[in-house]
């Protein structure tokens, strides 16, 4: 089998994680890196042993590229995906798919019409703990699943574009509840219909930096009355939080993927500790093999394996649209103070090549 030849579009923080996620994927080979910042793409290409490419048009015209991984800021997703799909390349896009459901709908239509492979890069559900949780739910260990919860927080985004609510599409809700929304769909099952959403959001700490909300909560209610509670924050000190819970009529499952068994007290910095760490000394909680723990290894293995085998990956643009539709309803609810309906996901088409 010929390796899947992959190009990284965007060589920043998340692009680095996606590239690292390919390290054990034998069927994939990173061949090109594209970024508007020449120094950054050159450094990225040197680090991962691929060739730097200056523009997306050049990337799309390259016959040696099979699959393009979009690791760009949110406001650049739509146009990049439309260009890649029109070129007939496979495309994988980081979360959230769009800044809103309208952008996600355009991207979904583009890949459907072009008939190209598409994958939605939601890494959290590929965390080993969450995969085990779903297996236990499917095995009936907790009985009928009734509610799920997700809590994610940190002290604020690492890049300036996140703080611009217009560019990003929103604040903490769009950035972090996108994980929780798909986690809920992942556990309840994608055939479970999300009927409506109730949400609150406010800018409590970072008012001088953003017009978006830095704290938010939402309840996703299924058509059968079950619910998911998702709580997110950009003002949570002490590093990245990631707690996930599932409750059934015969048990419960709980994990905190942000805290491993390794603890350290240090008086001298040791370099990078973990994503969104707020300190370099004192009590620290380094995460061994962060790429694997945060799900990037298994996510990229699923994407590349699906492309190589000509099948749909676990997460497609259809899932990305579903998440954007939930978040759109949440933002409407913030404004109305009412439960808001969720736009249905378009009828499935061919998600594979």
pLDDT tens-digit readout, 76-92? 999 999 999 999 999 99
Average confidence (pLDDT) over 143-150 = 98
Q: What is the pLDDT of residue 284?
A: 72
339: left (phi over 0), alpha (psi -120 to 50) or beta: beta
- With a cut of 70, say whether residue 281 has pLDDT above it: yes
Q: What is the CATH number of domain 4-123+297-312?
A: 3.40.50.720
User: Mean pLDDT over all residues of the chain?
Assistant: 93
CB contact at 8 A, 214 and 196:
no
Q: What percent of the chain has pLDDT over 70?
A: 95
SS3 state of residue 305: helix
What is the pTM for the complete model shown?
A: 0.93
Q: What's the token pair of residue 271?
A: 């370099």
The model's pLDDT over 213-232, given as tens digits with 9 standing for 90+, comes to: 999 999 999 999 999 999 99
CA 175 vs CA 203, 218, 337, 342: distances in Å: 14, 13, 21, 19
Give the Cα separation of 51 and 57 in Å (integer).
15
| H helix count then E strand count, the chain | 12, 15
Q: What's the token pair of residue 194?
A: 């999300």
Length of the chain: 353
CB contact at 8 A, 103 and 74:
no
Give the Cα separation of 95 and 109 in Å (integer).
17
Pick the CATH number of 125-294 from 3.30.565.10, 3.30.70.20, 3.40.640.10, 3.30.360.10: 3.30.360.10
SS3 state of residue 267: coil
- Residue ranges per structural domain of the chain: 4-123+297-312, 125-294
Give the Cα separation of 168 and 187 in Å (integer).
27
Q: What's the token pair of residue 94?
A: 């980081």
Lowest model confidence (mean pLDDT) among 7-21, 196-210, 279-293, 314-328: 279-293
- With a cut of 70, say whether residue 95 has pLDDT above it: yes
């Amino acid at each position: 089998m010929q390796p899947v030849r992959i190009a990284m579009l965007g060589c920043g923080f998340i692009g680095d994680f996606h590239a690292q996620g390919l390290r054990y994927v034998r069927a994939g080979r990173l061949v090109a890196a594209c970024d508007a910042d020449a120094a950054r793409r050159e450094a990225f290409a040197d680090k991962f042993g691929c060739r730097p490419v200056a523009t997306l048009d050049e990337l799309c015209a390259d016959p040696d590229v099979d699959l393009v991984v979009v690791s760009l800021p949110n406001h650049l997703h739509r146009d990049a995906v439309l260009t890649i799909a029109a070129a007939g390349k496979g495309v994988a896009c980081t979360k959230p798919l769009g800044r809103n459901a309208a952008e996600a709908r355009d991207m979904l239509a583009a890949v459907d019409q072009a008939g190209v492979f598409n994958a939605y890069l939601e890494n959290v559900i590929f965390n080993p703990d969450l995969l085990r949780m779903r297996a236990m739910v499917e095995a009936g260990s907790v009985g009928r699943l009734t509610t799920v919860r997700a809590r994610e927080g940190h002290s604020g985004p690492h890049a300036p574009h996140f703080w611009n609510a217009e560019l990003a599409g929103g604040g903490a809700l769009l950035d972090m509840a996108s994980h929780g929304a798909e986690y809920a769909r992942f556990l309840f099952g994608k055939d479970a219909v999300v009927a409506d959403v109730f949400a609150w959001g406010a800018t409590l700490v970072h008012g001088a930096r953003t017009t978006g909300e830095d704290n938010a909560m939402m309840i996703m209610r299924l058509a059968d009355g079950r619910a998911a509670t998702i709580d997110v924050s950009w003002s949570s000190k002490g590093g990245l939080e990631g707690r996930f819970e599932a409750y059934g009529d015969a048990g419960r499952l709980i994990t905190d993927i942000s805290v491993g068994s390794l603890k350290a007290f240090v008086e001298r910095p040791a370099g990078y500790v973990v994503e969104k760490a707020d300190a370099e000394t004192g009590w620290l909680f380094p995460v061994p093999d962060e790429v694997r723990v945060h799900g990037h290894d298994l996510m990229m293995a699923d994407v590349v394996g699906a492309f190589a085998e000509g099948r749909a990956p676990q997460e497609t643009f259809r899932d990305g649209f579903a998440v954007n539709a939930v978040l759109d309803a949440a933002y409407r609810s913030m404004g109305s103070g009412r439960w808001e309906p969720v736009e249905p996901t378009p009828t499935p088409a061919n998600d594979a090549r």
